[in-house]
Amino acid sequence: MKAGRGRLTGIYACTFGFVLLAPASGVALQANAHFAAPAAYAERATQASSSQPANPPTRYTLTPEQRAKAVAYAHARYAIYFSGVALSLGIYLLFWGAGVALAFRNWARRVSPRHFVQCLIFAPLFLAAAGLIELPLDYYSGFTLEHRFGLSTQSFASWLVDWSKGLAVTILLGVFLVWILYGVIRRSPRRWWFYFWLVSIPLALGLILLEPVVLDPLFFKFTPLDRTHPTLTERIETMLQHAGLDIPASRIFEMNASTKTKAVNAYVNGIGASKRVVVWDTTLRRMNEDETLLVLGHETGHYVLNHIPKGFVLFQLGALAAFGIGFVIVQKIVAGLGARTGVESVADLASLPILLLVLTALSFLSSPVYCGFSRHFEHQADQFGLEVAYGVVADPNGAEARSLQIFGEEDLEEPDPSPFLKFWLYTHPPLDERIRFAASYKPWAEGRPMELLRPK
């Protein structure tokens, strides 16, 4: 389980029925023949790696003090996750049962009979009230806990500004989505769940397209990596050419994560023209070039193996299932309890907490499915990173194992998560599994072909 970068929640996730069925399994690419790296690549890799430390780890190991700290931090995060789900469900129950959503709807109706104006009043009131109730848990998880364990460099003022930006973006999106959702429900009370799913596809694609260029820059600064680390960028280009890949340097960025955290990370996001690979500056400071190349090899694996579009397709199939199941449940709830609580129909804005209650529960129950697919994709990316770095890095196995060990130490990853927590929460294989794989996967030394890489 990796620490996430802030994500829009609430109406953004639940209105789309985001069951989060993102990375899913795909058919591994099989190379037709064993790939031997050109001598020039191997020579450059040896020169660049001559100062590498000896004896890379073969298991994820921590000192007793580090282990105790990592376990305490991980258990706190687990508790926050489950508490957050319970809090969200409690808020929706409160807003429904106590008539909060009903009051917001009545205020909106008194202002205007127009649907859009009502949404313009109802959605901000609903989301702002929910956000304020969640604020103490957000503060504890995003500020207090991170400072307690020495992971945060962010001031309270900076954290509060980020929290406010996140709420503002959620409200802006929320108004738009509530307007569309209830417009579709009013026009097709029996098939709204299917039609809204169709509408959600271009909306979700648009959001994925805009996130790297519009939303992410609200919170961090991004600089093309070739401006800050030209030598590393040259080696990255060599690694990509090694595999015949076309990922321009203009799509590889450094993010100034150190202004807010000490943790290390990297990720790939976006789609089409906005797709990019991002490395945190904390990662660049903590790791040497070979280790960073293996991190980037992993991330470009997501890029090259089309994990984002594959995940999007599976995500949308999950969303369709969630909407279909949710429609049946919500219809029964509104028909049975709606009249007694003032909810006139599913088309009534006051039904929003019921919709969110059901979709949040479905999203929570789908977590193991999403995590299972995600772990598979992350394992593929680890494997791809080793294959693409072979011939560019003298010892890709050692560099990968060291980079993962650094991730664990800096991000306080738990060494021995329980099978249940791995099943329910872990989007990545546990670090010990990843390091053992990194140390042992050497098809080039065993006369076997690459499984994911097709060199050109």
pLDDT (tens digit, 9 = 90+) per residue, 149-159?
Answer: 999 999 999 99
Cα–Cα distance, 125 to 173 (Å, whole number): 13
Whether 87 maps to a domain, the answer reads yes
Whether 276 maps to a domain, the answer reads yes
pTM (two decimals)? 0.86
The residue ranking higher by pLDDT, 24 or 128, is 128
What is the biggest distance separating any 2 CA atoms in the chain, rounded to whole angstroms? Answer: 77
Cα–Cα distance, 452 to 385 (Å, whole number): 10
The residue ranking higher by pLDDT, 83 or 13, is 83
Q: Is the pLDDT of residue 182 over 80?
A: yes
Q: Is the pLDDT of residue 46 over 50?
A: no
Whether 269 maps to a domain, the answer reads yes
Whether 453 maps to a domain, the answer reads no
Note the pLDDT of residue 288: 95
Cα–Cα distance, 432 to 390 (Å, whole number): 22
Q: How remote is the C-alpha of 364 from its chain's centroid?
A: 15
> Over the stretch 311-325, which tens digit does the pLDDT of each residue have?
999 989 999 999 999
> Over the stretch 83-137, which tens digit does the pLDDT of each residue have?
999 999 999 999 999 999 999 999 999 999 999 999 999 999 999 999 999 999 9
The residue ranking higher by pLDDT, 25 or 149, is 149
Whether 6 maps to a domain, the answer reads no
Q: Is the pLDDT of residue 455 over 80?
A: no
Domain that holds residue 43: 11-445
- Report which of 428, 370, 439 is spatially closest to residue 403, judged by C-alpha positions: 439
Whether 154 maps to a domain, the answer reads yes
Residue whose entry in the numeric block shows the structure tokens 């930006």: 165
Number of domains in the chain: 1
> Over the stretch 329-378, which tens digit does the pLDDT of each residue have?
999 999 888 778 899 999 999 999 999 999 999 999 999 999 999 999 99
Whether 197 maps to a domain, the answer reads yes
Query: Burial of 94 by CB count in 10 Å (0-12 exposed, 13-18 middle, 19+ buried)?
Result: middle
Whether 454 maps to a domain, the answer reads no
